[in-house]
Amino acid sequence: MRYSTTHKEQTRQKLVESSGAIAKQGGFSATGVAGLMKAIGLTGGAFYNHFPSKDDLFTEVVRHELSNSQIGLCTRHGALSREKLERCLDQYLNMAHLRNPEHGCAIPALGAEVARAAQPVREEAEHWLRALQEVWSQTLDDPQLAWALLCQCVGALVVARMLAHETSQEEVLQASRGFLAKALHPAP
Report the number of secondary-structure helices (H) and strands (E) in the chain: 10, 0
What digits encode the pLDDT tens for the residues 117-140? Answer: 999 999 999 998 998 899 899 999
What's the pLDDT score for residue 46? 82
85, 168: one domain: yes
Same domain, 11 and 73: no
Same domain, 93 and 178: yes
Residue 155: per-residue pLDDT: 97
Q: Answer for the pair 82, 140: CB distance below 8 angstroms, yes or no.
A: yes
Residues 105 and 41 in one domain: no
Q: Do 160 and 117 belong together in one domain?
A: yes
> Does residue 58 sit within a domain?
no
Same domain, 17 and 110: no
Are 9 and 71 in the same domain? no
Q: Report d(CA 17, CA 82) in Å as an integer.
A: 31
Q: How does pLDDT run across 32-89, given as a tens digit for each residue? A: 888 888 888 877 888 888 889 888 988 888 888 888 876 666 656 656 888 888 988 9
Sorted by sequence, the CB contacts under 8 Å of residue 5 that are 6+ apart come out as none
Range of the domain at 178: 65-184
Q: What is the mean pLDDT of the chain?
A: 88
Q: How far is CA 178 from CA 82, 107, 163, in A?
A: 16, 21, 19
163 near 150, Cβ under 8 Å? Answer: no
| Interatomic CA distance for residues 170 and 179, integer angstroms | 14
Residue environment code for 93-110, b if the CB has 16+ CB neighbours within 10 A, otherwise e:
beeebbeebeebbbbbbb
Of the three residues 53, 74, 90, the one that is the final residue of a domain is: 53
pLDDT value at residue 74: 63
35 lies in the same domain as 117: no
CA atoms within 13 A on the CB side of 83: 0
Based on the fold, state whether residues 131 and 171 are members of the same structural domain. yes
Q: How many domains in the chain?
A: 2
Q: What is the pLDDT of residue 73?
A: 66
Alpha carbon distance 72, 62 (integer Å): 13
More confident residue, 43 or 171: 171
At residue 158, the pLDDT reads 96
The answer to whether residues 24 and 108 belong to one domain is no
Residue 60 lies in a domain: no
pLDDT digits (tens, 9 = 90+) for 7-28: 788 888 988 888 888 888 888 8
For residue 2, pLDDT beyond 90: no
CA angle 178, 180, 181 (to 5 degrees): 65
**30 in the same domain as 71:** no
| CATH number for position 107 | 1.10.357.10
- What is the DSSP code string of 6-66? HHHHHHHHHHHHHHHHHHHHH-STTS-HHHHHHTTT--GGGGGGT-SSHHHHHHHHHHHHH
